[in-house]
Amino acid sequence: MNPLKSIHSMDQKGFTLLEILIAMFILAAVLSTIFTSYTGTFRIIGETESQTDIYAMARIVLARMQEDLESTHLKASEDSESEEGPLKRAIFLGENKEINGRDADTLRFLSRAHIVLDEDHENTGIAEISYYVIQKEEGDSLLLYRFDTLELEEAPEEGTGGLLLCDGLSSINVTYHDVEGEMYESWDSSHDELEIKLPARVSIMLEFVNPTNPEVPHKFMTSVALPMAREIDERAF
């Protein structure tokens, strides 16, 4: 037996069990830190993208509603008869409604802001525009629809059809102010003191579901002035 070879073999050392365990612990701590950092970053990116989509959707909806309301038109309509008596077409109708305890207000009015979706039918003129809300089949959020029907066309059944403007709504609340500044929760220009009148200002509050904090929804608000309302009020006197 070669004594030099035996001495050389005795000098070679490996890792002890304790050293291996310490190395594994350090590696696990590093990987855990990296994983936490990456998941946190991805979560922030996802939340930011979700909020960006909500902000963009809210901006589009409020801009659309503002343009429709600013083009509100007042036109005297002939009364029609029914079994209950004479009927007068609602010129501007804002109803205070709820779905499962949440505001789900609706709007229906005459406007010149007709949108042409079919290039083969470029009919323009006064249209009856309606906004209504329904609950989404899956989940607890609300859907906002807009329907645009030209005056001479047959309107669909109330609360059906139309273009989906946005989803993920928590609530929509609409309030109205007359030329004197008095606030109303609803408005019907075919009845009582509001007959043949338009609101001077319409305020719209949209609340969107906040997935990260359901108790604090994303809120967006705008207020739209209707210049024609003051002209009508001045002519009335």
Residue 25 Cα to chain centre, angstroms: 49
Within a domain: 41: no
Q: What range does the domain containing 119 cover?
A: 49-236
Residue at token pair 């066309």? 153
The pLDDT assigned to 87 comes to 36
What is the number of structural domains in the chain? 1
Q: Which amino acid is at 225?
A: A
pLDDT at 137: 86
Rounded distance between C-alpha atoms, residue 198 and residue 230, angstroms: 8
* Exposure class string for 159-186: b at 16+ Cβ within 10 A, else e: eeebeebbebbbbbbbbbbbbeeeebee
Over residues 170-199, the pLDDT tens digits come to: 999 999 999 888 999 999 988 777 777 889
Would you say residue 12 lies in a domain?
A: no
What pTM did the predictor assign? 0.71
Q: Is residue 129 assigned to a domain?
A: yes
Which run of H or E residues covers position 40?
Answer: helix 17-70
Which pLDDT belongs to residue 86? 38
Q: Is position 34 within any domain?
A: no
- In a domain, residue 195? The reply is yes
Kindly tell me the burial class for residue 106, based on how many C-beta atoms sit within 10 Å of its own C-beta (0-12, 13-18, 19 or more): buried
Which of 203, 200, 198, 199 has the alpha carbon at shortest distance from 223? 203
| Predicted pLDDT at 162 | 85
User: Own/partner pairs for 117-125, CB < 8 Å, 24+ apart?
Assistant: 123/150, 125/150, 125/151, 125/152
Cα–Cα distance, 122 to 139 (Å, whole number): 38
In a domain, 227, yes or no: yes
Looking at residue 175, its amino acid is: T
Tens digit of pLDDT at every position of the chain (237 positions): 555 455 455 555 667 878 788 888 888 888 887 777 767 666 666 666 667 888 989 999 999 999 999 998 876 555 444 344 433 444 799 999 999 999 999 999 989 888 765 555 555 678 889 999 999 888 789 999 999 888 766 666 766 778 899 989 999 999 999 988 899 999 998 877 777 788 999 999 999 988 888 888 999 999 999 987 765 555 544
Whether 16 maps to a domain, the answer reads: no
3-class DSSP state for residue 184? strand
The pLDDT of residue 237: 41
pLDDT of residue 13: 63
- Which residues share a beta bridge with 98? 103
Positions of E strands within the chain: 80-82, 85-87, 92-95, 98-99, 102-103, 106-111, 127-135, 142-150, 163-177, 183-184, 187-188, 201-208, 218-225
- 3 state SS of 18: helix
Q: Is residue 6 part of a domain?
A: no
